[in-house]
Amino acid sequence: MAKTGFQVEVLTPEGEVFNDEVVMVSTRTTVGSIGILAKHQPLLAMLEPTELRLYKSENDVVSFVQGEGFLQVQPDSRVLVLVDEVFESGQVDTAEVRQKLERAQGEAESAEEGSAAQREARRRVRRYEAFLKIAEGGGH
């Protein structure tokens, strides 16, 4: 049985990254992994850094590495993914991500305990750790 398609748009501050029909969206929110199919209930969720999988069909999957953001499922089944950063899974520069991770780890260690700077640095550490895991085949 064929699955019903629905429109998905992935946007970053730089612009549109993806806009096409899919049969399923798979990602991770702050409360856990989620799969979205057509006719899903309206939803607004915060996204964690992870792999974003957009299933055009069972065998045709577009995969991205996503940063933090928001997922909105609209009443007409359209899905909007708003993320601060996104890369095609095969396009992650692991050497650059490792450098960013090391910088963020250093900033987290040197920041005042409990400060906003420390929280921001730890958020970046989680992001870059997730990016490396996905780039090295760990998925979500």
Task: Calculate the average pLDDT of the chain.
Answer: 90
pLDDT at 1: 41
For residues 18 and 85, membership in a common domain is answered with yes
User: CB–CB of 92/135 below 8 Å?
Assistant: yes
Model confidence band, residue 139 (pLDDT cutoffs 50, 70, 90): low
Residue 98 lies in a domain: yes
- pTM, entire model: 0.83
Q: What pLDDT digit, counting tens, does each position of 51-79 carry?
A: 999 999 988 999 999 999 999 999 888 99
pLDDT at 138: 59
For residues 78 and 12, membership in a common domain is answered with yes
DSSP per-residue letters across 107-130: HHHHSPTT-HHHHHHHHHHHHHHH
For residues 78 and 108, membership in a common domain is answered with no
Q: Parallel, antiparallel, or unpaired: how do β-strands 6-12 and 79-83 relate?
A: parallel
Q: Which of 11, 7, 12, 14 is nearest to 36 (CA)?
A: 7
Q: Parallel, antiparallel, or unpaired: how do β-strands 15-22 and 6-12 relate?
A: antiparallel
For residues 62 and 127, membership in a common domain is answered with no
Residue 97 belongs to domain spanning? 93-135
Residue 74 lies in a domain: yes
